[in-house]
Amino acid sequence: MSKQIIQIGLLGCGTVGGGVWKVLAKNQADIEKKCGARLEIKKVLERDFEKAKTAGVPAEVITENVDEIMNDPEIQIVVEVMGGIEMAGRFIRLALQAGKSVVTANKDLLAIQGRELYELAEANGVDLLFEASVGGGIPIIRPLKEDLAANRIEAIYGIVNGTTNYMLTKMSEEGSNYSDVLKEAQEKGYAEADPTSDVGGLDAARKLAILASIAFNTRVSFDDVYVEGITKITARDI
C-alpha cells in the first residue's frame, strides 16, 4: 500500500526558505516514517532563480508565477517564508481562498492581520498554522489553542525576545553599557545589523499580540500593545 503524498508550495527561497527545502530533503525519510505521509515541495516561488538553485532546488520546481501554486489542485499546503506584510498577506489570502492550508512564521503580518486570516481559514475549512512565529522551536501556540482550551488564562509572562534578554543579562551581571553589549550581540549574530525591531521592543510586541489574541480569545493587534524598548536603559537602571 503506497503512502500518501502531500504536495507543498513554498513561497520564498531566501535564508529561511532555502533552509526549509534542505531540511525536508535531508529528513524526508524520517518525516515519512513519523507522519505516515511523504512531504514533497512541488513548486517554489522565487524571483531570484540562482538563489533557489544555490539551495539545491531543481530549475523545473522554481517559478515566478504564484498562480502555478494557487491554481494547482495537487498542492495542499502553502508554506510562506517570504516575509513582509503586503505581498505575503495577499498570497496567504489567495491560498486560503483556494482551499489550501497555510504554514507561516510571519509575526509581523500575524500581529496586524492575524484575526482576519484566522477567520478566512475557518471559513474555507483549512488550517492557518504559525507555531514558529513565537518562541521558535518552543511549542506555545498549539498548547494555548488546544491543550489549555478549557483553562481561563489571566496573564502571560515570559521572555519573548532572545536578543534583548541576552543584552540585559550581560548588563545586569557584568555592568556592561548598552552600546558595548549591542555591539557584542551583533558580532555574535544575536542581533541584526539594524537591531531596531529587537531593541525597540517591536519584535516582542508583535509576539505578544499573537499570544494575547489566542490566550484571551480576543482581537489584539500590534497597535494595541504598549511598546518601550531598551535603548535608554543603562547599567545603573538594572
Regarding whether 215 and 186 lie in a shared domain, the answer is yes
Q: What is the DSSP letter of 65?
A: -
Cell representation of residue 139: 511549542
Split the chain (238 residues) into runs of 10 and give each run's mean pLDDT: 86 93 93 91 95 92 97 98 95 98 95 93 96 85 86 91 95 93 93 93 95 91 93 85
Regarding whether 191 and 95 lie in a shared domain, the answer is no
Q: Quick one: angle between helices 28-35 and 15-26, nearest 10?
A: 70
Regarding whether 98 and 17 lie in a shared domain, the answer is yes
What backbone phi and psi angles, to 5 degrees, belong to 45?
-85, 115
Q: Are 227 and 202 in contact (CB under 8 A)?
A: yes
Pick the last residue of a domain from 133, 162, 182.
133
Regarding whether 18 and 106 lie in a shared domain, the answer is yes
Q: Is residue 31 part of a domain?
A: yes
Regarding whether 225 and 155 lie in a shared domain, the answer is yes
- Which domain range does residue 174 map to? 148-238
Cell representation of residue 168: 540585559
Q: Is residue 191 part of a domain?
A: yes
Tell me what pLDDT residue 182 has.
Answer: 96
Distance CA 84, CA 63 (A): 19
Please give the helix or strand (H or E) that residue 4 lies within, else none: strand 4-11
Q: Is residue 79 part of a domain?
A: yes
Tell me what pLDDT residue 146 has.
Answer: 86
**Model pTM score:** 0.83
From the candidates 22, 26, 207, 232, which is the catalytic residue? 207
Q: Which CATH number belongs to the domain containing residue 165 in this structure?
A: 3.30.360.10
Q: Is 207 among the residues known to form the active site?
A: yes
Residue 89: burial class (beta carbons within 10 Å; 0-12, 13-18, 19+): buried
Regarding whether 168 and 112 lie in a shared domain, the answer is no
Regarding whether 153 and 128 lie in a shared domain, the answer is no
Tell me what pLDDT residue 2 has.
Answer: 62
Number of domains in the chain: 2
Regarding whether 63 and 100 lie in a shared domain, the answer is yes
Cell representation of residue 36: 505516515
Q: Are 130 and 110 in contact (CB under 8 A)?
A: yes
Distance CA 213, CA 217 (A): 5
Regarding whether 176 and 91 lie in a shared domain, the answer is no
